A and B are shown apart, each in its own frame.
Chain A
């Protein structure tokens, strides 16, 4: 994405956010955040006190301004969080201005219409250098498409009719050839529109956990409102006059403004963090659910193993030298451009120093087909007495059938080797020349480096991994053991995936999975977090609640971590916010009472200079702490995979105990500064 490298603290974003922070002071904008609304009302009342208060004017004025700043700082945090998304949305919008589509009429001819008028079911034609006008499915043709507008990836991808690569997205560019596309979305509801509104945060709704937290914060606000409202009569009884300004100051200090002011920024930043990793979450709810996941269904290929199998060994038949086997295998693979084929050439070179030869004589390559399940090479008889050679490699049963058809037999040792390789999770390819079986090439899945450690981390976080594979149970078990997954589902069909998800959910687990094919759609929809690959079909993308624009299934693990980080950040700042109140009481309560009861001076344990400076310092600390915590809210608290118990201890110590202690220091410092500047 064009704005991918944009930092939160980019100058443009910051200045835009600063302007927005004041614009958002509108009371209506604050209503959705009760804590900040109360603060805003408090600030307004404090300004009103300028005319009636008996406190020094400078004190009232400073309190009023700092209360206002508290709201502004909170708005600022939200605006900064939104900033990157907004910039991205602008870039996306630019990519789709005034598109003209060529729509097919009933009679088969084409007419030019504005793209915004395309209806679901319309068929359009798009040729090279043209932008696809809307989301749809390719019904005819194949073309290379530049999808960088959405994925940020500039390498073109192939889109063709039929199969799993038929989905195209509006706003992407056709680089070659012509496509006939059936539009599948209504105008304004396309993927790009959706993406724009998501990154902009326009459709943001409170997630369940955010809602619960808002209830907690609002209730605490009500309780503190009661505390302050009753303090006035308590003062009357004690013949102490508590000024309105001071009571408002105390109220705002006590209500959880820190978390209240940063709550929405945390949520937006969480979605944004996903976006930075090119994952588009369809809702904040999905991000939150990602943190709760305790079962991951991972496709073997691409996630656990490298995409391709690689040749790992040559096992020759009795009476055949391994070098002869390697030579034949290499010959048969020379024209085989698949990664497996290339790995055979490489292995032969490495093990037997056989260089890939230029074939001078005329020869025929026999390509792999689904019917023969073999490939190979036919060499004519050479002049120097070399007989004609015919070499094949392929699945054991196919090759055996081939030699048997020529009157050959397969030695028992070769069969044993074939079974042995299968049992260890490998794929055996039998190589034969003419009617002689030369031996077996072992192809092996290569488990990605570091993945085992990753799974161990997940396990310590309480997350179980289940490998999904089409392999037979033996092969699957071997790879599962090597990769260190907790469980596997062999010979998996989409129905089995769905059944597995239901079973896990029935036992109370929350399940995440990735998928791309149309037949993955039901499972993606059933999973608590379903991540569809962007290369996948439209059906898969609609069924999941996240789309990975990079189509990298390993990212599921990162998604879970981001979800957790989001929740931890919320919890940490809530704890911090509430713990802060202790110090604020110690600053403000003695200041309020010391005038009437000089004997309580020892209660001013921070040794704050004057009652006014004490209260003002607490209010300023309360406002500034929001600013100080913006980076934490946006980046999320440092997250390391570890068990819940250790994580709780660590976070309680930092944010709980830290929350009690930090404001004592902060308020004292501000008090020193204020008094030295003569402001209080």
Chain B
């Protein structure tokens, strides 16, 4: 395997990431300031003004944290219900050339939650379940707005830090509209065109049917005349029947426009079930590279925004560096273990030099799959170009651990920054004491109420991930969805709930969350996990923003705890790893760690 090529690509990626951070960060400073100016003003400003007028919004009217929170919650609820009904009634709505039926209630709910929370967990099977209208309206709406809302929350928190003795933290409506108009729509428009240039499809045609050259015999679940799966005597196992594949359905649709926002807004919900592994959804190495870059672009730029807004650019870069180190570390571990391959494969005579290619697109190979997997789970994107389920145990542990840090390694748009700032507050509180002063972060004293809010988030996330996994692990419905047994099966469940709570959306693809027997519990528990992961984070964060904004700012002196430089980066790294590891280590031990040692000893699952 050509390592120098991989290193070159890695270097190119890092360089590009560094290069986009500052310009995009500067753009964000203007977008997130209601009086900011951008080069898009001549074109976009009229639309912005009309929107304000139509919605009766005074763009300069700022909100308290409670006002901001209520607006966000209300907007999310309305959006959630809208999508739910679009999915339920997609058979009555236009742009459904495949005549796909309305979506079942639990699946529709799960999907509506999934997109409202910027998770894009897909219990449904992409092109086989949803019409173009459902995707373009029901889902894409959230791809834009949930991303914009995430940025808004991060901006509100940054404003809380930057302001002092203030009662407001910005306007949700202004943030939402400006992020959508000045950031997502224009960038995604251009990005979609670039993707089309790479061969990605963009049309409203019905799916093509092609006759295959080699007919393949397969086993599929037997379906009765109503389209319901026929179950065996135990009422759970679907009855299988033999069929021969003679034709192949080839997906068509407005893919490039969907993919642009799916990546740039760290949404991750694929147009196709195969997501970015599908040749239409990720046609070339360049499209693969650009998709990876677009995932990290906004989260990375937001750290620059943070630094500039709090008038401490070095702090922004310190946060960036922490994220970067965690990202590089994860990538190298995943790459190393994927490149080393599976010892059992090798015993069976598979060449060790290729690494573990199971579940990977040979077009991308080991390195680009490991890199993509790390990026998509660092950021809460969730798009995949390889099946994480087929990674080696430690290769799969990296994405799993990334999810469990709370998606703070660059993270989702906005969510990554506000998630990381939780760890910053925690690190400042614990270590800040060690300089002999009441801990302060950027001149704001960290007091009992702030610690309470931060810990509330961490407790909620841990409770949801571990609690739901535990429930599924000992329940028949939970075990029924597994594709594998033993520790690998456990990893599938742990991954699913970590992904849901982390609002990531990727899956250890083996898990069947939407079983043929119609059991709703995976859909509902995952939906619950996504809601907790999104809103049990956002509400305390906005409260924290409001509380920080109201505080006095203490002037810095030689006795002040510095939130920049190497010491701080090391401290923050330690906090993220330690808190993440201490909370999830036993679960990881039961899953991938045990599996790693068992695979070495020759067992497969």
- Name the interface residues of A555-581: CB closer than 8 Å to any CB of B: 563-565, 567-568, 570-572, 574-575, 578-579, 581
> Residues 499-530 of chain A: 1 if any B CB is under 8 Å from the residue's CB, otherwise 0?
00000000111100000000000000000000
User: A433 at interface (Cβ–Cβ under 8 A)?
Assistant: no
Query: Digit string of A215-236 for contact with B (CB within 8 Å is 1, else 0)?
Result: 1100110111011011111111
Q: Is the CB of B586 within 8 A of A227?
A: yes
Assess whether B471 is interfacial by the CB under 8 Å rule: yes
Which of B435, B455, B487, B601 has its CB near the most chain A CB atoms (within 10 A)?
A: B435
Residues of A within 8 A of B590 (CB): 231, 234-235, 237-238, 240, 593
Q: Judging by beta carbons under 8 Å apart, are B447 and A223 in contact?
A: no
**Alpha-carbon distance A567/B552, docked complex (angstroms):** 21
> How far is it, in angstroms, between the C-alpha of A208 and the C-alpha of B555 when the chains are bound?
21
Contact in complex: B466, A230 (CB < 8 Å): yes
Given contacts A461-B559, A600-B597, contact A652 B587 (CB under 8 A): no
The contact of A644 among B447, B452, B561, by CB within 8 Å, is B561
Task: Indicate whether B448 reaches chain A with its CB closer than 8 angstroms.
Answer: yes
Interface string of B430-442 (1 = CB under 8 A from A): 1111111110000
Give the distance in Å from the alpha carbon of A574 to the alpha carbon of B429 in the complex.
10
C-beta contact mask, A59-93 vs B, less than 8 Å → 1, else 0?
00000000000000000000000000000000000
The size bracket of the interface on A is 35 or more
Partner of A600, one of B486, B555, B571, B593: B593
Minimum CB–CB distance for B474 against chain A, Å: 4
B559/A463 in contact, CB under 8 A: yes
| Chain B: minimal CB distance from A607 (Å) | 16
Say yes or no: A208 contacts B451, CB within 8 Å.
Answer: no
Contact A644 to B558, CB < 8 A, known contacts A226-B466, A599-B600: yes
Roughly how many angstroms separate A567 CA and B435 CA in the complex, as a whole number? 8
B459 within 8 A of A: yes
In the assembly, what is the distance between CA of A585 and CA of B462, in Å? 18
- Chain A residues with Cβ below 8 Å from B490 are 234, 237-238
Contact (Cβ within 8 A) B561 A564: no
For residue A412, CB closer than 8 A to chain B, the reply is no
Q: Are A230 and B582 in contact (CB under 8 A)?
A: no
Quick check: A571 and B597 within 8 Å, CB to CB? no
Assuming the contacts A219-B458, A234-B587, A600-B594, asked whether A647 and B473 have C-beta atoms less than 8 A apart, the reply is: no
Within 8 A of A (CB), among B562-601: 562, 565, 567, 570-571, 574, 578, 581-583, 585-587, 589-590, 593-594, 597-598, 600-601
Instruction: Given the known inter-chain contacts A223-B462, A226-B463, A571-B432, please indicate yes or no for A462 contacting B558, CB distance below 8 A.
Output: yes
Do residues B436 and A581 form an inter-chain contact, with CB atoms below 8 A?
no
CB-based contact B552/A568 at 8 Å: no
In this assembly, does A139 line the interface, its C-beta being within 8 Å of a C-beta of chain B?
Answer: no
Contact A644 B431, beta carbon cutoff 8 Å: no
Bound Cα distance from A570 to B439, whole angstroms: 12
B432, B448, B558, B562 pick with most chain A CB within 10 angstroms: B558
| Interchain nearest-CB distance for A356 vs B (Å) | 50
Q: A294 contacts the other chain (Cβ, under 8 Å)?
A: yes
> What chain A residues lie within 8 Å of B554 (beta carbons)?
508-510
The listed residue (B479, B559, B589) touching A643 by CB distance below 8 A is: B559
Which residue of B436, B455, B474 is within 8 Å of A291 (Cβ)? B436
Most buried by A among B554, B562, B586: B586
A110 within 8 A of B: no
The number of inter-chain residue pairs (CB within 8 angstroms) is 210
CA distance A579 to B487 in the complex (A): 28
Residues from chain B with Cβ under 8 Å of A656 in the complex: 431, 571, 574
Query: With A215-B451, A571-B430, A645-B562 in contact, is A227–B438 under 8 Å at CB?
Result: no
Could you say which residues of chain A place their CB within 8 Å of the CB of B558? 459-462, 643-644
A187 to chain B, nearest CB (A): 36
Q: Please provide the chain A residues from 419 to 468 with a CB less than 8 Å away from any CB of chain B in the complex.
A: 459-464
Closest CB of chain B to A276's CB: distance in Å? 19
Q: Is A649 an interface residue (CB 8 A)?
A: yes
Query: Are A234 and B470 interface neighbours, CB within 8 A?
Result: yes
B500 near A: Cβ within 8 Å?
no
Asked whether B436 lies within 8 Å of A564 as measured between CB atoms, the reply is yes
- In the complex, whether B128 has a CB less than 8 A from a CB of chain A is no
Interface residues on B, range: 35 or more
A66→B555 CA distance, assembly (Å): 48
In the complex, what's the smallest C-beta–C-beta distance from A506 to chain B, in angstroms? Answer: 9
Alpha-carbon distance A233/B467, docked complex (angstroms): 10
Q: Does B263 contact A (CB under 8 A)?
A: no
Contacts of B466 in A (CB 8 A): 226-227, 230
Asked if B430 contacts A568 (CB within 8 A), the reply is no
Residue on A with the closest CB to B448? A212
Distance in angstroms from B528 CB to nearest chain A CB is 16
Q: Does B553 contact A (CB under 8 A)?
A: yes
Task: Tell me the smallest distance from the CB of A43 to a CB of chain B, in Å.
Answer: 22
> B555 contacts which chain A residues (CB < 8 A)?
294, 507-509
Q: How far is the CB of A236 from chain B (nearest CB, A)?
A: 5
- Find out whether the CB atom of B433 lies under 8 angstroms from the CB atom of A570: yes
- Contact check, A589 vs B455: say whether CB atoms are below 8 A apart: no
B602 closest partner in A (C-beta)? A599
Q: Does B557 contact A (CB under 8 A)?
A: yes
The answer to whether the Cβ of B537 comes within 8 Å of any Cβ in the partner chain is no
On chain A, the residues within 8 Å of B565 by CB distance are 645
B206 at the A interface (CB under 8 A): no
Q: Tell me whether A645 and B567 are in contact (CB under 8 A).
A: yes
Among the listed A211, A230, A510, A648, which residue makes an inter-chain contact with B431, where contact means beta carbons less than 8 Å apart? A648
CB of B465, distance to nearest CB on chain A (Å): 9
Closest to B443 in A: A508
Are A564 and B462 within 8 A (Cβ)?
A: no
CA distance A220 to B454 in the complex (A): 11
Interface of chain A residues 118 through 154 with chain B (CB within 8 A)? none
A59 vs B553: C-alpha distance in the bound complex, in angstroms? 54
The interface residues of chain A lying within 8 Å CB-to-CB of B473 are 233-234, 236-237
> Does chain B have a CB within 8 A of A288?
yes
A352 interfacial by beta-carbon distance below 8 Å: no
Q: Chain A: which residue is nearest B565 at the CB level?
A: A645
- Shortest CB–CB separation between residue B323 and chain A, in angstroms? 20
Residue of A nearest to B475 (CB): A233
B567 partner residues in chain A, CB cutoff 8 A = 645, 648-649, 652
Q: Is A602 an interface residue (CB 8 A)?
A: yes
- Cβ B438 vs Cβ A216 within 8 A: no
Given contacts A212-B429, A599-B598, contact A219 B459 (CB under 8 A): yes
Choose among B430, B463, B586, B600 the residue that contacts A578 (Cβ–Cβ < 8 A): B430
Contacts of B432 in A (CB 8 A): 571
Q: Does A409 contact B (CB under 8 A)?
A: no
Residues of A within 8 A of B470 (CB): 229-230, 232-234
* Residue from the list A212, A459, A581 in contact with B451, Cβ < 8 A: A212
State the CA gap A464–B558 with chains docked (Å): 10
Q: Which residues of B contact A220 (CB under 8 A)?
A: 455
**Set of chain B residues within 8 Å of A644, measured between Cβ atoms:** 435-437, 558-562
Residues of B within 8 A of A507 (CB): 555
Q: Determine if B151 is an interface residue (Cβ-Cβ < 8 Å).
A: no
Contact check, B459 vs A593: say whether CB atoms are below 8 A apart: no
Chain B, 442-493, CB within 8 A of any chain A CB: 443, 446-448, 450-452, 455-456, 458-459, 462-463, 466-467, 469-471, 473-474, 479, 486-487, 490
Residues on A with beta carbons closer than 8 Å to the beta carbon of B436: 291, 461, 563-565, 567-568, 639, 644, 647
Q: How far is the CA of A314 from the CA of B562 in the complex (A)?
A: 53
A253 to chain B, nearest CB (A): 11
Chain B 505-540 interface 0/1 with A at a Cβ cutoff of 8 Å (1 = within) = 000000000000000000000000000000000000
A and B contact pairs by CB, cutoff 8 A, 17 listed:
A209-B433, A215-B452, A216-B455, A219-B455, A226-B463, A226-B466, A227-B587, A231-B586, A233-B474, A238-B594, A462-B560, A508-B554, A564-B437, A599-B600, A648-B431, A648-B435, A651-B431
Closest 5 CB pairs of A and B: A462-B559, A571-B433, A564-B436, A462-B557, A219-B455
12 more CB-based (< 8 A) A-B contacts, given A219-B459, A644-B435: A223-B462, A231-B586, A234-B469, A234-B590, A462-B558, A567-B437, A567-B438, A643-B558, A647-B436, A648-B431, A649-B567, A656-B571
